[in-house]
Amino acid sequence: MSSIMDEKPVFGELSAENLEVGDIVEWKKWCYKLREWQPHYGVITGIKNEIKGNRMVSISNVMPLSNSNQVEVEFFTPSLKLVSKVQRSDQINPKFVEKG
């Protein structure tokens, strides 16, 4: 019972609950040349919990949309902002589906 009481919640897990693989997200990076925060966009390819700094945290892998190298980037999940939810086939409204 003492091990359950010592367990801490995963840091960032609440943010991860609102995201899933396939969602489009935004993050910002500082542009020194323009002296402003620049938005960047990508698609979530994975969400996992990892130990960082002796604490379990939520980490998201993202494939940037504008990156010509196509290299995944890791982010602390709460640093991402949801832009668009992935649409699953079971979520598509039937009146918008083309009849073939």
Q: What is the DSSP string of 37-92?
A: EEEEEEEEEEEEEEEETTEEEEEEEEEESS-TT---EEEEGGG-EEEE----GGGS
Please state the domain extents for the chain: 9-83
In the predicted model, is pLDDT for residue 90 greater than 90? Answer: no
Using DSSP's 3-state secondary structure scheme, residue 5 falls into helix
Which residues 6+ apart lie within 8 Å of 18 measured at CB?
82
Q: pLDDT class for 57, splitting at 50, 70, 90? A: very high
Banded pLDDT at 14 (limits 50, 70, 90):
confident
> What is the value of pTM for the model shown?
0.75
Distance CA 92, CA 98 (A): 11
Average pLDDT in the chain: 84
CATH fold of 9-83 reads SH3 type barrels. (2.30.30)
Q: How many residues does the chain have?
A: 100
